[in-house]
Structure 1
Amino acid sequence: MTLKDKKQIVGILVNPRKKEVSAPLDSLDEWISLSNPGAEFLLATYQSKYLRTDYRNLKILPVEEILARADLLVTLGGDGTILRTVQAIGDREIPILGVNLGGLGFLAETPPELLIPNLQSYLMGKYLVESRKLLNCLVVDRDERFFALNDFVFDKAGFSRVIEIITMVDGSLLNSYIADALILSTPTGSTGYSLSAGGPIVLPGTEVFIINPICPHSLTNRPVVVPDTATISIKVYTEHKEFFLFRDGYKVDSYPSGTSFELTKAPFFAKLVKVKKRSFIETLRNKLHWGEDFRNKNRWSYHNLK
């Protein structure tokens, strides 16, 4: 059975704080009226001054009901909206088509004006699904589990003193970092916080994780790349009463000194819909403006020689 044989259910999740979400939703509502694409469109319930409640063709439902029914999720926002959507999906592996209303948009690649053409391609079965690995974190002392698409960060919690982060890889001591924080990043997260902290850019399909200290009190501590088959064990000590754990930019919880963690590759993936095949190298070049010369060449004397 192809997508054209089965009525698709398309869920729409948005960043309710962005006023830019209204125009794509209005266009989508009108397109459904004119073209009858043969799919059901569900819009998540939000409290937002930028969203109408009288769409003719978008059925408004709670997020959990949409997640239980959707074949595809369309996100309107930016990379942060996709990160939050991945957390909501969990292990259901619902494919995501990200529309970029934000900044760089490494994950949300579709511009608003291509939302409808890309939806048409999806409904015709003309698309690719890219699997992105996730990082799983077990809080050993509490038997709690979390996962992240970008990264986990062990942070000193605003305290003025550094923390000690004992890090082991497959049972062997890697380092005892004295630092402000430690980032454990996936390849997807290598263009996020880890990049800002001096980490390497890693292509999404690379089978590795990145261990990257923030402000380590040592000239020799540098980011380390380990295979994604490794088990990374972390134990954090602080002179303060607690430290923080963040995942994908959001605080998970605070933990007392001496708490242990185990990080491994998650047994499920985030699925991103790609309508146009584009290499990650091309995306990097376009987003980061690599290869462009921004210098004022007139300052160099040889450009003025005739």
Structure 2
Amino acid sequence: MPLKIAFAASRADVAQAARTALVHRFGDAALDQADVIVALGGDGFMLQTLHGTQDLEAPVYGMNRGTIGFLMNEYGEDDLVERLEAAELAEINPLRMTAWDVEGNSHAALAINEVSLLRAGPQAAKLRITVDDRLRMDELVCDGALVSTPAGSTAYNYSAHGPVLPIGSDVLALTAVAAFRPRRWRGALLPKTARVRFDVLEVDKRPVMAEADSRSFREVAAVEIVSEPAVVHRILFDPGHGLEERLISEQFT
């Protein structure tokens, strides 16, 4: 029985052109009836596709029509079906963020890569860090802090000098962004089951925003982050080019 493929593309012209060509050759199944979803774009679009299809059974296979494409495979049309049939599956869990703003309203979001807190004014942020209800740091003065999954550890986390985490590891990275006090503190490794809470100190003087995979929430007073095992994202990669290999290779470039 022919493989039923659904194609999704970013708004970029190159991605739209690729979708038109692929649909002409392979057809285009409805998302909820597809055996596999092919996402055409960059990493940002791949995250968008994974979030948008998380309730579907079909795995997502990305082909790079963007810039970096860490989560994507190389673009190619001729052998697409063979590549899909031979692809390796990686399953990852996102983070669940709950943020409370200064008025007491709560906001929830999922993040495949990371949840970050960033200063939203001219002065550095002041954060208090609690892990599993145990106070771990009274005051972190910084431009921000983030909690990253292994899948997201080569994204913003890596740019902030956080560690690259093996994809199969049951750990999260808590990384500071430009820490001022404690001087040059870079963070900690935490078990995947950890519940991390950031309380924003001096919220009026030092406003902070929270982001979950680029979904932004302003003027937050507190943020809690936990791994969400009930949600599983299924990603396909060409053999020998899976997430684990990419994470290792990234450390030698």
1:264–1:127: structure 2 CA closer, same or farther, 3 Å change rule? same
Answer whether contact 1:163 1:239 (CA < 8 A) is retained. Answer: no
Match of 1:217 among 147, 159, 180: 180
Residue 36 of structure 2 corresponds to residue 41 of structure 1: no
1:149–1:221: structure 2 CA closer, same or farther, 3 Å change rule? same
Query: Where has structure 1 moved over 3 Å in runs of 4 or more?
Result: 66-71, 90-94, 140-144, 239-242, 277-282, 284-290
Answer whether contact 1:93 1:268 (CA < 8 A) is retained. Answer: no
Give 1 or 2: higher helix fraction.
1
AA aligned to 2:18 is P
TM-score (norm 1): 0.72
Cα deviation for residue 235 of structure 1 reads: 1.3
C-alpha separation between the residues in 1 aligned to 2:17 and 2:251? 27
3-state SS, counterpart of residue 239 of structure 1: coil
Residue 210 of structure 2 corresponds to residue 245 of structure 1: yes
2:19 match: 25
Residue 164 of structure 2 corresponds to residue 201 of structure 1: yes
3-state SS, counterpart of residue 76 of structure 1: strand
Q: Deviations over 1:282-304 (max 9, x none)?
A: 435656763xxxxxxxxxxxxxx
TM-score (norm 2): 0.85
1:137 match: 97
1:9–1:31: structure 2 CA closer, same or farther, 3 Å change rule? closer
C-alpha separation between the residues in 2 aligned to 1:213 and 1:185? 11
C-alpha separation between the residues in 1 aligned to 2:250 and 2:131? 33
| Bigger Rg, structure 1 or 2 | 1
2:218 match: 254
Counterparts of 1:174-193 in structure 2 under 5 Å? 174-175=136-137, 176-193=139-156
1:73 match: 37
Answer whether contact 1:118 1:275 (CA < 8 A) is retained. Answer: no
> What percentage of residue pairs aligned between the two structures are identical?
21
AA aligned to 1:247 is A
1:85–1:240: structure 2 CA closer, same or farther, 3 Å change rule? farther
AA aligned to 1:180 is D
AA aligned to 1:225 is L
Answer whether contact 1:244 1:251 (CA < 8 A) is retained. Answer: no
AA aligned to 2:8 is L
Q: Deviations over 1:200-247 (max 9, x none)?
A: 111122111111111111225222110001111221133347421112
Cα deviation for residue 27 of structure 1 reads: 3.5
C-alpha separation between the residues in 2 aligned to 1:91 and 1:154? 27
1:212–1:201: structure 2 CA closer, same or farther, 3 Å change rule? same
Q: CA RMSD in A?
A: 2.5
AA aligned to 1:190 is S
Residue 154 of structure 2 corresponds to residue 167 of structure 1: no
Cα deviation for residue 119 of structure 1 reads: 2.8
C-alpha separation between the residues in 2 aligned to 1:30 and 1:23? 11
1:104 match: 68
1:149 match: 112
Query: Greater RCO between the two (CA within 8 Å, min separation 6)?
Result: 2
